[in-house]
Amino acid sequence: MRLYKEHYTDKDGKRKKTQKWYVDFSDHHNRRHRVPAFTEKRSTQALADNIEALVSCKMAGQQPGVEMQRWLEVAPTALLKKLVSWDILDGQRAEGGKLLSVHLEDWKKSLLANGCDVRHAKLKYKRVQRVFAKCGFKTWAGVSASRLQHEISILKKEVYRNVKGEVIAVETEPATVKTKNYYLQACQQFCRWAVMDGRIVTNPLLHLKQAKAESEKRAAIEPAELSRLLRATETSPERFRIPGHERALLYRFAAQSGLRANEIRCLTIASFDFDNQLVTLAGKYTKNGQDTTLPLRKDTVAMLKELFVNKLPQTNAFRLPSKYNMAYMLRADLAAAQIEIDPERGQVCFHSLRHSFGSMLAASGCHPKVAQELLRHSDINLTLSRYSHVLTGQTAKAVEALPDLNCEAHKSKKATGTND
């Protein structure tokens, strides 16, 4: 291993030395190589020491240590490519110099290869891509935990709108704590994957903690309110290009099946078995990844058959607005039906119809295990604590159904003397 400056002849014929130093060394195959270094000898010596350490690791059959790997993460890409071509460095260990966008693409492919749902993999990828772009991260060397934490703390909700024929993302009000935690989870998962894949040594986001978020309480629309909503919506004008009759049937179906908005969006006419009063949804569209078959009420099946008449089997069963407009549509129809839901009961959104389904099952005396099966929950506590709301009047009826203690007291009286 030696450091030197090359000689060259200038245009006047004079012999001069280059400003840049060079490193000359032999690899583990006793082949000579030359690497251009820096104008400072001290920096060049540090580079030579690192290269020598890499050659020693290769000769000993060992992997580079933590400090060496950190140096590889910030080393110039051109130098890493040379070391890989000379068999001094494994290709995987040279990943640190790549752009983060390349690593992100590889991560998305890894998620899909491990069975992650396509939609979910894209969502995680976009979350990391969006935050890293805001932070200005290009390579691993630039990733800063404090910078990422700050950008996530001021994150705003992203809504897609059609402006002049082009769909663009518009940032609106601040994102919820829950949403911010989702972004942090995705970024940390990406970094954990990079460590496990040998691309970096340490997870730069390991110490970051998620903010404590209060669970968003969802309101359940009660049966009486639901009946008023359906009657009023049935004769109301179009909203989001959906006639009132179709919206009313959509609300009825959601409240009687418990299907989520995105699950309903994936249903086609072929998903329905009208003879057996069933609806089937493929596992790739469900949250738990399992095929789902649910029973339907006879009266609802008759309405659906009328709506689907003359439609092809592969046609979407329902017309739905974008997921951001689902809540607005329901709230507008509730307001038109003059139904006001106390904020203390929770937030009203399309998912409230799923809460209504769970609450009506509980009120009907349905066994909790059956309700869990219909709601497709893995934990019965979720069914009982979050989706089984106490409906109006249930507490009073429960108390009224208690035994009449006065009657029992009269029956237990006995004669004790002649005055009786």
In this predicted structure, the answer to whether residue 30 has a pLDDT above a threshold of 80 is yes
Residue 212 lies in a domain: no
In this predicted structure, the answer to whether residue 156 has a pLDDT above a threshold of 90 is no
Output the pLDDT for position 200: 78
Phi, psi torsion values for 166, nearest 5 degrees: -125, 130
Residue 208 lies in a domain: no
- pLDDT confidence band for 170 (50 / 70 / 90): low
Higher pLDDT, 91 or 411: 91
What strands lie across the sheet with 22-26, from one edge to the other?
2-4, 22-26, 32-36
In this predicted structure, the answer to whether residue 26 has a pLDDT above a threshold of 60 is yes
Question: What gap in Å lies between CA 156 and CA 47, rounded to an integer?
Answer: 44
Higher pLDDT, 77 or 364: 364
Output the pLDDT for position 412: 52
The residue range of the domain holding 27 is 2-95
Q: How many Cα atoms occupy the beta-carbon half-sphere of 34 within 13 Å?
A: 8
Shared domain for 61 and 114, answered yes or no, is: no
Provide the percentage of residues in the chain whose pLDDT is more than 70: 90
Final residue belonging to a domain, choices 196, 211, 241: 196
362-398 pLDDT tens trace: 999 999 999 999 999 999 998 988 888 888 888 888 8
Q: What is the mean pLDDT of residues 115-120?
A: 85
Shared domain for 42 and 142, answered yes or no, is: no
Output the pLDDT for position 277: 95
Final residue belonging to a domain, choices 95, 127, 146: 95
- Which residue in this structure is represented by tokens 């390349």? 102
Q: The tokens of 374 are what?
A: 């219909």
In this predicted structure, the answer to whether residue 74 has a pLDDT above a threshold of 80 is no
Closest CA to 29 of 64, 55, 50, 52: 55
Shared domain for 275 and 382, answered yes or no, is: yes
Residue 207 lies in a domain: no
Output the pLDDT for position 396: 84
Residue 413 lies in a domain: no
In this predicted structure, the answer to whether residue 261 has a pLDDT above a threshold of 90 is yes
Shared domain for 158 and 26, answered yes or no, is: no
Please list, in sequence order, all residues whose beta carbon lies within 8 angstroms of the beta carbon of residue 181, skipping any fewer than 6 positions away: 210, 211, 213
CB neighbours of residue 125 within 10 Å:
19
Residue 410 lies in a domain: no
C-alpha dihedral sign at 324, 259, 358, 124? negative
Shared domain for 159 and 241, answered yes or no, is: no
Shared domain for 374 and 245, answered yes or no, is: yes
CATH number at residue 372: 1.10.443.10
Shared domain for 19 and 164, answered yes or no, is: no
Q: What is the mean pLDDT of residues 391-412?
A: 75
Final residue belonging to a domain, choices 149, 178, 196: 196
CA angle 126, 132, 137 (to 5 degrees): 145
Shared domain for 291 and 383, answered yes or no, is: yes
Residue 128 lies in a domain: yes
Closest CA to 253 of 311, 315, 317, 187: 317
Please list, in sequence order, all residues whose beta carbon lies within 8 angstroms of the beta carbon of residue 341, skipping any fewer than 6 positions away: 219, 221, 225, 334, 348
Output the pLDDT for position 417: 60
Provide the percentage of residues in the chain whose pLDDT is more than 90: 49
Residue 163 lies in a domain: yes
Shared domain for 126 and 145, answered yes or no, is: yes
Question: What gap in Å lies between CA 326 and CA 333, rounded to an integer?
Answer: 11
Shared domain for 302 and 262, answered yes or no, is: yes
Q: What is the mean pLDDT of residues 126-152?
A: 91
Number of domains in the chain: 3
Residue 386 lies in a domain: yes
262-275 pLDDT tens trace: 999 999 999 999 99
Please list, in sequence order, all residues whose beta carbon lies within 8 angstroms of the beta carbon of residue 40, skipping any fewer than 6 positions away: 21
* Highest mean pLDDT of the ranges 80-89, 191-200, 398-407: 191-200
Q: What is the mean pLDDT of residues 201-222?
A: 83
326-373 pLDDT tens trace: 999 999 999 999 999 988 888 899 999 999 999 999 999 999 999 999
Shared domain for 14 and 71, answered yes or no, is: yes
Q: Write down the pTM of the prediction.
A: 0.58
Burial of 137 (0-12, 13-18, 19+ CB in 10 A): buried
Which of the residue ranges 19-23, 76-80, 244-248, 265-269 would you say has the lowest mean pLDDT? 76-80
- pLDDT confidence band for 293 (50 / 70 / 90): very high
Shared domain for 140 and 280, answered yes or no, is: no
- pLDDT confidence band for 88 (50 / 70 / 90): confident
In this predicted structure, the answer to whether residue 168 has a pLDDT above a threshold of 80 is no
Question: What gap in Å lies between CA 256 and CA 247, rounded to an integer?
Answer: 14
